[in-house]
C-alpha cells in the first residue's frame, strides 16, 4: 500500500466541502458519497514458464443512481481497494458534471503490465472478464468498463470478445465495454478524447478576459508555456492538441526523469525517442532535469499532471510555479495541496471536469453500439446536398464562384469523427459554463473543484428525487 491509502477519504473531503453548500438530509449525502458495491477477487494465472501466480483484482460500482455504471480498468502494481473506490466515486461525479447518464465504477488489477507477456496479459484480461460475467458485474446495461492507466484498445478488444462469447446472440453485447478499436465496435475519436477534452477545457478557461488578467496572462493558448507530466494516452494527446492550438511545450516528465526546452518540444518526436532509447532523457536539443519532481516545479503557464493521483501535497505545493493546473489524471491534487494552490492564486481546472472527455466519448461509443449504426451514416450525404444548394444560392446571389477546394471544405457533410468531436466540444464548453455559474451563485464556493462537486451532488440528488428516494 502507498502513502495514498486514504485516497477515497480525500475524495470525500472534497465532497463534504461541497455538500456544506446544500441542505440535503445527511442520509441522502451518505448514500451519494458511499460505494454501493465492492467486488474483490483473486484468480490464478498460468505464466508462460508454467508457474501459477495469484492475481488480485477489483471492480467497484460506486453509484447506481443511473445505470449502467461506467469507468476504466487500471493495471498497476500498486492498485489497492480504496484507490479503486476513490476512482469509482470520481467517475460518478464526473459523469454527472458532463451530463453523461451513467453511475460511476472502476476496476483494477494488481500487476505491472511491463512484466508480463502479451499472452499472459490476454489470459488475465479474459479471466477477469469471465469473473465479472459470473457475478453480473459487466454488461451493456449493468457496468461498462473502459481503458485507464495501463490498459488500452487491445485489452478492451479482449473484453468484448470474451463477453460476446459468453453471451451468444446478445444483440447489444458490443456495448459491454468502450474504448474498443474502431474495427471492433469502437468510435472514431475515443482514443484522443481525454486529451482533446483537456484542450477544450483549457481553451475555454483561457478565453475569459477577467480570469486571464488576474493570472497576468494573455487571452487564448497562443504562446502559453505548458509542462506535461506523463506521456501516456492522456498526456500525449493533451500535449498534442495544446501545441497545435498555439501553446509551447516547454517540459515533459515521465517516470525516468524529465526534459525541458524553452523554445518548445514536439510530443511526437519525444515519444519516438523514448520508444527507441527507452527513456525521454537525452532528447536532442533538450536539457535533462534532475527528476520528475523538478519538472512539476518549473516556471510555466500551464501544468498538466497526466499520470497518477497524489502528485501534489502540502510538501511540494508551495514550490509549484504554474499559473494554471489542468488535471488530466484523476486525483493529482490532495486536499492538503488544494488550499495552497488557492492561496497562490493558481487556477486549478479540476479532474472531475477537465478529464471527462474520455467518458463523454465513451458514452457516444456506447450509444453507437446500441444503435448499431455509425454516426453520420444516415445524414452525411443529405447534409452535403443541402450545403451544395446553399453554396449555389450564394454563388448566384453574389456572382462569386467558389473553388473546388472551398466547395469540398464547406460542403463536406460531417463524418463520425466530426460529430464525435463536436459533441465533445459542446459538452466541455457547456459544463465549464455551468461551473462558472455555480461559483458565481455561491460566493462561498472557493474554486472550480468545489463548484464541480456541488454540481455533481445536485445532479445525483435530483436523480434520487426522481426515483422517489427522497422528497
Ligand atoms: N478511465 C477514464 C476515466 O477515468 C475513462 C472512463 C470511461 O470512458 O468509462 O475517466
Q: Which atom of ligand 1 is nearest to 102's Cα?
A: 9
Residue where one domain finishes, among candidates 166, 184, 202: 184
- Residue 180, C-alpha cell as written in the block: 474498443
Residue where one domain finishes, among candidates 184, 205, 237: 184
- Residue 224, C-alpha cell as written in the block: 502559453
CA of 104 to the centre of ligand 1 (A): 10
Q: Give, for ligand 1, the residue of 362, 364, 365, 367 to mutate: max count of ligand atoms closer than 8 Å to Cβ.
A: 362
Assign residue 327 the CATH number of its domain: 3.40.50.720
Q: Which atom of ligand 1 is nearest to 148's Cα?
A: 1
CA of 23 to the centre of ligand 1 (A): 30
Q: Per the structure, how many domains does the chain have? A: 2
Q: Per-residue pLDDT tens for 180-224? A: 999 999 999 999 999 999 999 999 999 999 999 999 999 999 999
Q: Are 267 and 370 found together in one domain?
A: yes
Q: List Cβ neighbours of 470 (8 Å cut-off, separation of 6 or more).
A: 24, 25, 28, 461, 464
Q: Give the Cα separation of 205 and 218 in Å (integer).
A: 12
Assign 468 a pLDDT band (cuts: 50, 70, 90).
confident
Q: Are 345 and 441 found together in one domain?
A: yes
Q: Are 361 and 315 found together in one domain?
A: yes
Please classify residue 351 by burial: count the beta carbons closer than 10 Å to its beta carbon, then call 0-12 exposed, 13-18 middle and 19+ buried: buried
Q: Per-residue pLDDT tens for 333-374? A: 999 999 999 999 999 999 999 999 999 999 999 999 999 999
pLDDT at 3 over 60: no
Nearest to 190, CA basis, from 372, 432, 357, 22: 357
CA of 73 to the centre of ligand 1 (A): 8
* 21 inside domain: no
Q: Give the Cα separation of 353 and 97 in Å (integer).
A: 7
Q: Give the Cα separation of 383 and 147 in Å (integer).
A: 34
* 365 inside domain: yes
Q: What share of the chain is helix, strand, coil (3-state, %, to 5)?
A: 50, 15, 35
* 446 inside domain: yes
- Residue 141, C-alpha cell as written in the block: 446495461
CA angle 435/442/439 to nearest 5° reads 20
**pLDDT more than 90, % of the chain:** 95
Q: Per-residue pLDDT tens for 116-168? A: 999 999 999 999 999 999 999 999 999 999 999 999 999 999 999 999 999 99
Residue where one domain finishes, among candidates 184, 200, 232: 184
Q: Which domain range does residue 191 map to?
A: 187-379+414-471
Q: So what's the pLDDT on residue 174? A: 98
Q: Are 320 and 454 found together in one domain?
A: yes
Q: Are 60 and 111 found together in one domain?
A: yes
Residue nearest to atom 7 of ligand 1 (CA): 359
Are 376 and 419 within 8 A, CB to CB? yes
Q: Which atom of ligand 1 is nearest to 70's Cα?
A: 9
Q: Partners of 207 in the beta sheet?
A: none
Q: Per-residue pLDDT tens for 20-73? A: 999 999 999 999 999 999 999 999 999 999 999 999 999 999 999 999 999 999
Q: Give the Cα separation of 424 and 199 in Å (integer).
A: 11
Q: Per-residue pLDDT tens for 404-428? A: 999 888 888 899 999 999 999 999 9
Q: Are 167 and 292 found together in one domain?
A: no
Task: Report, as an integer, the average pLDDT of 237-255.
Answer: 98
Residue nearest to atom 8 of ligand 1 (CA): 359
Q: Give, for ligand 1, the residue of 106, 147, 192 to mutate: max count of ligand atoms closer than 8 Å to Cβ.
A: 147
Q: Are 288 and 362 found together in one domain?
A: yes
Starting from the edge strand earliest in sequence, which strands make up the sheet with 287-289, in order?
287-289, 257-260, 248-254, 225-229, 300-305, 322-326, 347-349
Q: So what's the pLDDT on residue 383? A: 92
pLDDT at 78 over 50: yes
- Residue 337, C-alpha cell as written in the block: 495541496
Assign 5 a pLDDT band (cuts: 50, 70, 90).
low
- Residue 205, C-alpha cell as written in the block: 478557461
Task: Calculate the average pLDDT of the chain.
Answer: 96
Task: Report, as an integer, the average pLDDT of 74-83.
Answer: 97
Q: So what's the pLDDT on residue 467? A: 78
Task: Report, as an integer, the average pLDDT of 6-25.
Answer: 97
Catalytic residue, candidates 66, 70, 94, 106 = 106
Q: Are 346 and 208 found together in one domain?
A: yes
* 5 inside domain: no
* 16 inside domain: no
Let me know if 106 is a catalytic residue: yes
Nearest to 205, CA basis, from 389, 435, 381, 20: 435
pLDDT at 1 over 50: no
Q: Are 175 and 197 found together in one domain?
A: no
Q: Give the Cα separation of 81 and 467 in Å (integer).
A: 29
Between strands 322-326 and 347-349, the pairing is parallel
Q: Which atom of ligand 1 is nearest to 90's Cα?
A: 4
Detail the DSSP E strand segments found in 15-132: 37-46, 52-61, 69-76, 103-110
Q: So what's the pLDDT on residue 2? A: 47
Q: Give the Cα separation of 328 and 198 in Å (integer).
A: 7
CA of 111 to the centre of ligand 1 (A): 19
Are 72 and 107 within 8 A, CB to CB? yes
Q: Give the Cα separation of 393 and 68 in Å (integer).
A: 47
**pLDDT more than 70, % of the chain:** 99
Q: So what's the pLDDT on residue 283? A: 98
3-state secondary structure of 160: helix
Q: Give, for ligand 1, the residue of 71, 331, 352 to mutate: max count of ligand atoms closer than 8 Å to Cβ.
A: 71
Q: So what's the pLDDT on residue 410? A: 87
Q: Are 448 and 464 found together in one domain?
A: yes
* 395 inside domain: no
Q: Are 200 and 179 found together in one domain?
A: no
Ligand 1 lining (C-beta closer than 6 Å): 70-72, 146, 148, 178, 330, 355, 358-359, 362
Q: Are 180 and 158 found together in one domain?
A: yes
* 134 inside domain: yes
* 43 inside domain: yes
Starting from the edge strand earliest in sequence, which strands make up the sheet with 37-46, in order?
37-46, 52-61, 103-110, 69-76, 143-147
Q: Give the Cα separation of 285 and 256 in Å (integer).
A: 18
Cα dihedral sign for 234, 240, 244, 247?
A: positive
Q: Which atom of ligand 1 is nearest to 145's Cα?
A: 9
Q: Give the Cα separation of 470 and 419 in Å (integer).
A: 38
Q: Give the Cα separation of 350 and 243 in Å (integer).
A: 21
Report pTM: 0.96
Amino acid at each position: 500500500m502507498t502513502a495514498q491509502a486514504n485516497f477515497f477519504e480525500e475524495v470525500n473531503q472534497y465532497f463534504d466541502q461541497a455538500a456544506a453548500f446544500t441542505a440535503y438530509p445527511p442520509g441522502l449525502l451518505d448514500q451519494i458519497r458511499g460505494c454501493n458495491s465492492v467486488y474483490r477477487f483473486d484468480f490464478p494465472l498460468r505464466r508462460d514458464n508454467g508457474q501459477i501466480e495469484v492475481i488480485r483484482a477489483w471492480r467497484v460500482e460506486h453509484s447506481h443512481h443511473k445505470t449502467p455504471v461506467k469507468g476504466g480498468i487500471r493495471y498497476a502494481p500498486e492498485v489497492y481497494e480504496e484507490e479503486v473506490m476513490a476512482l469509482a466515486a470520481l467517475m460518478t461525479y464526473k459523469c454527472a458534471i458532463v451530463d453523461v447518464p451513467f453511475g460511476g465504477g472502476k476496476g483494477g488489477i494488481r500487476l505491472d503490465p511491463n512484466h508480463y507477456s502479451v499472452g499472459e496479459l490476454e489470459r488475465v484480461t479474459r479471466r477477469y472478464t469471465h469473473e465479472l460475467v459470473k457475478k453480473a458485474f459487466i454488461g451493456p446495461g449493468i457496468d461498462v468498463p473502459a481503458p485507464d492507466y495501463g490498459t488500452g484498445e487491445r485489452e478492451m478488444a479482449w473484453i468484448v470478445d470474451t463477453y460476446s462469447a459468453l453471451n451468444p446472440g446478445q444483440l447489444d453485447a458490443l456495448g459491454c465495454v468502450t474504448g474498443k478499436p474502431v474495427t471492433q465496435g469502437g468510435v472514431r475519436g475515443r482514443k484522443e478524447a481525454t486529451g482533446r477534452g483537456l484542450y477544450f477545457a483549457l481553451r475555454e478557461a483561457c478565453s475569459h478576459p477577467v480570469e486571464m488578467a488576474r493570472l497576468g496572462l494573455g487571452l487564448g493558448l497562443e504562446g502559453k508555456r505548458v509542462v506535461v507530466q506523463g506521456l501516456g494516452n492522456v498526456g500525449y494527446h493533451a500535449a498534442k492538441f495544446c501545441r497545435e492550438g498555439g501553446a509551447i511545450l516547454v517540459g515533459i516528465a515521465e517516470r525516468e526523469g524529465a526534459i525541458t526546452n524553452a523554445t518548445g518540444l514536439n510530443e511526437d518526436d519525444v515519444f519516438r525517442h523514448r520508444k527507441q532509447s527507452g527513456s525521454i532523457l537525452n532528447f536532442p536539443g533538450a536539457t535533462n532535469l534532475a527528476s520528475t519532481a523538478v519538472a512539476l516545479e518549473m516556471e510555466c503557464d500551464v501544468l498538466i499532471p497526466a499520470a497518477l493521483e497524489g502528485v501534489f501535497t502540502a510538501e511540494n505545493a508551495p514550490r509549484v510555479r504554474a499559473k494554471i493546473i489542468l488535471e488530466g489524471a484523476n486525483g493529482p491534487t490532495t486536499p492538503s495541496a488544494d488550499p495552497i494552490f488557492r492561496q497562490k492564486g493558481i487556477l486549478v481546472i479540476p479532474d472531475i471536469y477537465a478529464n471527462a472527455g474520455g467518458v463523454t466519448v465513451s458514452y457516444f461509443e456506447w450509444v453507437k453500439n446500441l444503435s448499431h449504426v455509425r454516426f453520420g451514416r444516415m445524414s452525411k450525404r443529405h447534409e452535403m446536398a443541402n450545403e451544395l444548394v446553399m453554396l449555389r444560392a450564394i454563388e448566384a446571389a453574389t456572382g462569386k464562384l467558389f473553388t473546388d477546394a472551398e466547395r469540398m471544405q464547406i460542403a463536406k457533410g460531417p463524418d463520425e469523427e466530426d460529430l464525435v468531436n463536436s459533441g465533445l466540444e459542446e459538452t466541455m464548453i457547456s459544463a465549464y459554463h455551468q461551473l462558472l455559474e455555480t461559483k458565481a451563485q455561491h460566493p462561498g464556493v472557493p474554486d472550480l473543484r468545489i463548484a464541480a462537486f456541488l454540481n455533481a451532488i445536485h445532479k445525483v440528488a435530483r436523480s434520487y428525487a426522481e426515483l422517489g428516494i427522497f422528497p
